[in-house]
Amino acid sequence: MTTDLRLRPPHHRVDRRAIILWTLHSLLVAVPAVAAPAIAAALVEELAAWLWLGTAALAAPAVAVTLAMPRWRYRVHRWETTVDAVYTSSGWLWQEWRVAPMSRIQTVDTERGPLQRLLGLSTVTVTTASAAGSLRIVGLDRTRAAELARYLTQTTQATPGDAT
């Protein structure tokens, strides 16, 4: 068994539909944030000029983030498994590369929220015996996520070590 657990970029990209997922998540925050002062501007004539200015000030970064963030995350988010470890790369402004040795994995979970179900995606969460927390692979095709969870479960059961 190899012990080369160096920090390196993982090989596999998440599913391309993750761009749609992250865009929808961004819109769920951006639309209400921009709509609130716009609605207030339409209702409160005395403050309308200031509220429209506030709407514009919120709308510009909201549009920029909604357009740029999902594509940037797709370029960064990667994952890979070997017989020795799980590798992940995630983030967009703050990026993180992580390696979890198989012997440190405690649980493997899959999660599918409403938007993920709509898009046929899943998240795989790998909980380890680490203070750094779990590794999350967001935006996997649901079939691939189930296969990955099954593989990780079988591999960790066959890996010597106590996950502590």
Residue pair 110/11 in contact (Cβ under 8 Å)? The answer is no
pLDDT for 161 equals 63
> Which phi and psi angles does 80 have, rounded to 5°?
-165, 145
pLDDT for 90 equals 94
- % pLDDT > 70, the chain: 91
**Average of per-residue pLDDT values in the chain:** 91
Residue pair 87/94 in contact (Cβ under 8 Å)? The answer is no
Confidence band, pLDDT 50/70/90 cuts, at residue 158: confident
Domain ranges of the chain: 18-73, 78-158
Number of helices followed by number of strands (H, E) in the chain: 4, 7
Confidence band, pLDDT 50/70/90 cuts, at residue 6: low
Q: Quick check: helix, strand or coil at residue 7? A: coil
pLDDT one-digit tens code per residue, 61-90: 999 999 999 999 999 999 999 888 999 999
| CA–CA gap between residue 109 and residue 125 (Å, rounded) | 5
Residue pair 92/73 in contact (Cβ under 8 Å)? The answer is yes
Confidence band, pLDDT 50/70/90 cuts, at residue 4: low
Helices 48-76/18-43 angle, 10° precision: 180
Q: Which amino acid is at 18?
A: A
Confidence band, pLDDT 50/70/90 cuts, at residue 1: very low
Confidence band, pLDDT 50/70/90 cuts, at residue 117: very high
Evaluate if residue 53 carries a pLDDT over 90. Answer: yes
Q: Is domain 78-158 classified as CATH 2.30.29.210?
A: yes
Confidence band, pLDDT 50/70/90 cuts, at residue 92: confident
The per-residue b/e assignment along 85-120, b for 16 or more CB within 10 angstroms, e otherwise, is: bbbbbbebeeeeebbbbbbbbeebebeeeeebeebe
Residue located via tokens 């995350």: 73
Q: What is the mean pLDDT of residues 124-134?
A: 88
| CA–CA gap between residue 1 and residue 114 (Å, rounded) | 40
Confidence band, pLDDT 50/70/90 cuts, at residue 37: very high
pLDDT for 156 equals 84
